[in-house]
Amino acid sequence: MGVVPTTVQLIVVRHGQSTWNADGRWAGQADPPLSRLGRRQAAELAQRCRDAGIGAVSCSDLSPARETAAIVAKALGLAEPAESADLRERWSRTLAGLTGTEIETAFPGALTAWRDGTSTALPGDSEPLELFSSRVQRGLKSAAVLAPVVLVVAHAGVLRAVAELTATATAGRPLNADGRRIALAGDQLTDDGPAFGSV
């Protein structure tokens, strides 16, 4: 891993809608592709990125993030995205493939509490938050050596981990193809607000 410049701007976004997002299923580290809407969202994300000064793109190595990142990088004329397994979604063998309704039936309130920030726990056989947050931070630091401003395409859970790492209040589930602007200086992560100035 190279040396991180004094301060790097990371624009961390959730991938475009996947087919499992469309079905309301918990994906975790499953690998559903982008839906048709997800590909449109990726193209729209590329347009929002045009004036952001982005010099490189990094992403999770899972399909929806890789596809989104590739669409944006091509539209911006940048090198192929740098993939990182550290930027994968938080895994849960218990929840993967279940719909929100099925999760609520089996584990009342657990999914809502994770998404709205009132709990960091996931039920059953799930990745501990400490390990998840640690690898997300490692993935962000790896991305930060690529350019002064880097687009990082990841997952909703990664943005939730970023909120924990920056001590920023969560505001519901992140929208597809949207996210937060993060400053990284050494080991210090700071939330600088919405990725593209949206409310």
From the candidates 15, 83, 155, 164, give the one annotated as an active-site residue: 15
Task: Report strand pairing: 149-154 vs 56-60.
Answer: parallel
Assign residue 59 a region (left: φ > 0; alpha: ψ between -120 and 50; beta: otherwise).
beta
Closest CA to 195 of 183, 178, 173: 178
Residue type, 188: Q
- Round to whole Å and give the CA distance between 119 and 108: 13
Residue 196's contacts (CB-CB under 8 Å, 6 or more residues apart) are 11, 48, 52, 178
Could you confirm whether 155 is annotated as catalytic? Answer: no
Closest CA to 21 of 13, 12, 6, 32: 32
Contact 24, 101 (CB under 8 A): yes
Contact 95, 115 (CB under 8 A): no
From the candidates 67, 83, 89, 127, give the one annotated as an active-site residue: 89
The set of catalytic residues is 15, 89
